[in-house]
């Protein structure tokens, strides 16, 4: 992208900080929900070939639980909260004391709805902190949930980048829950047009 021909390193750092603040708030929200500490890794920000994005969560065929929502407003984009099946089960049990309905990739309507709501709360805190930081109005759509192959799910968020090339700029933050060694990913994929607005709002020279 042409926008990154100048000051690329600095701009990547700014996006890393965007991820840090957004996911930091989401991690705090998750930690409150679970009433236990949730750690967060330094966000990874880079252009990744489409082919390799699913590798971040175990490969294209890895079955993941994904909550997707579209970010609307001044800097639109796509947001995913991705968990392994193990993590999703742990969340349901830890948070809501749900009896495990099955081991496989099938979830009851109640479980899907609960996971969706967790994704909604986390994405909401991610976006509201980002909106505060940038002063840009940003709001999430109603979340949608799917349990399926990571490759099939993630391509859904790459359509906007698809017309520009074969890679996407992704803000990836990993959550870890220390006692269960499970992790979840937050992927924020702003639309290509949104980067300039984000940079202007944050006073980054274009």
Partner 1 sequence: MNEVIIVKIGMADLNIASGGESLKTTGLGSCVGLTLHDAQIGLAGMAHIMLPSSDIAREGQLNVAKYADTAVPELIARLKAGGANIRRLVAKLAGGAQMFAFSNGSDSMRIGPRNVESTKLALAAHDIPIIAEDTGGNFGRTIEFSSSSGMLTIRSVQNGVKEI
Our CB check for partner 1 shows the closer of 102 and 178 to be 102
Our CB check for partner 1 shows the closer of 29 and 154 to be 154
CA–CA gap between residue 114 and residue 21 (Å, rounded): 25
DSSP one-letter string for 123-184: HHHHHHHHHHHH---EEEPPPEEEEEEHHHHHGGGGHHHHTT-SEEEEEEEEEEETTTTEEE
Question: What x/- string results for residues 40 through 69 when contact with partner 1 is judged by CB under 8 A?
Answer: ----------xx--x----xxx-x----x-
- Determine, following the binding rule CB under 8 A, whether residue 95 of this chain makes contact with partner 1: no
Give min distance, CB of 126 to partner 1, in A. 18
CA–CA gap between residue 43 and residue 180 (Å, rounded): 21
Give min distance, CB of 147 to partner 1, in A. 7
- Determine, following the binding rule CB under 8 A, whether residue 115 of this chain makes contact with partner 1: no
Contact 186, 63 (CB under 8 A): no
- Determine, following the binding rule CB under 8 A, whether residue 12 of this chain makes contact with partner 1: no
Interacting residue ranges for partner 1, rule: CB under 8 A = 50-51, 54, 59-61, 63, 68, 70, 105-106, 141-142, 144-156, 158-160, 162-166
């Amino acid at each position: 992208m042409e926008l990154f021909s100048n000051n690329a390193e600095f701009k990547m750092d700014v996006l890393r900080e965007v991820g840090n603040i957004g996911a930091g708030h989401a991690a705090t929200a998750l930690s409150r929900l679970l009433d236990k500490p949730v750690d967060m890794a330094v966000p990874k920000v880079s252009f990744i070939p489409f082919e390799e994005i699913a590798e971040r969560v175990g490969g294209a065929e890895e079955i993941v639980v994904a909550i997707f929502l579209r970010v609307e407003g001044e800097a639109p984009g796509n947001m995913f909260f991705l968990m392994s099946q193990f993590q999703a089960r742990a969340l349901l049990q830890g948070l809501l004391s749900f009896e495990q309905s099955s081991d496989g990739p099938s979830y009851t309507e109640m479980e899907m709805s609960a996971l969706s709501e967790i994704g909604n709360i986390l994405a909401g805190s991610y976006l509201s902190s980002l909106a505060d930081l940038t002063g840009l109005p940003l709001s999430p759509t109603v979340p949608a949930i799917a349990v399926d192959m990571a490759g099939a799910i993630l391509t859904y968020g790459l359509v906007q980048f698809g017309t520009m090339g074969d890679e996407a700029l992704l803000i990836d933050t990993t959550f870890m829950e220390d006692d269960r060694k499970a992790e979840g990913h937050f992927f924020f994929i702003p639309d290509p047009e949104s980067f300039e607005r984000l940079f202007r709002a944050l006073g980054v020279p274009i």
